[in-house]
Amino acid sequence: MNRLAKNLSQAERVARAVVGVVFLFIGLSPSLSPAWSTIMLVLAAFVLITAAVSYCPLYTLFNFSTERSKTNSPE
């Protein structure tokens, strides 16, 4: 069993990358308190890493996937 099997579709990866960049800019904003800035930067890192590797550990916990199975695709 491959524990790090892809579970994110291409569309979701793009959406996560966009959201991650937004979180990054918000986290780097000087108007935020240090606590909120840290929270936003941690969220940005999580979202950007999951987009980069096409794997979300939270999806695995709930046995969920947006990636199409290659075995079920029509040929």
Q: If pLDDT is split at 50, 70 and 90, which confidence band does 72 have?
A: very low
Q: Which of 52, 44, 50 is nearest to 25 (CA)?
A: 44
Q: Which residues contact 41 (CB under 8 A, 6 or more apart)?
A: 23, 24, 27, 28
pLDDT digit string, tens, across residues 4-57: 788 899 999 999 999 999 999 999 999 999 999 999 999 999 999 999 999 988
pLDDT of residue 2: 59
Q: What CA–CA distances, in Å, run from 18 to 21, 28, 47, 71?
A: 5, 16, 9, 29
- DSSP code of 35? H
pLDDT of residue 67: 86
Residue 65 has pLDDT above 50, yes or no: yes
pLDDT of residue 75: 41
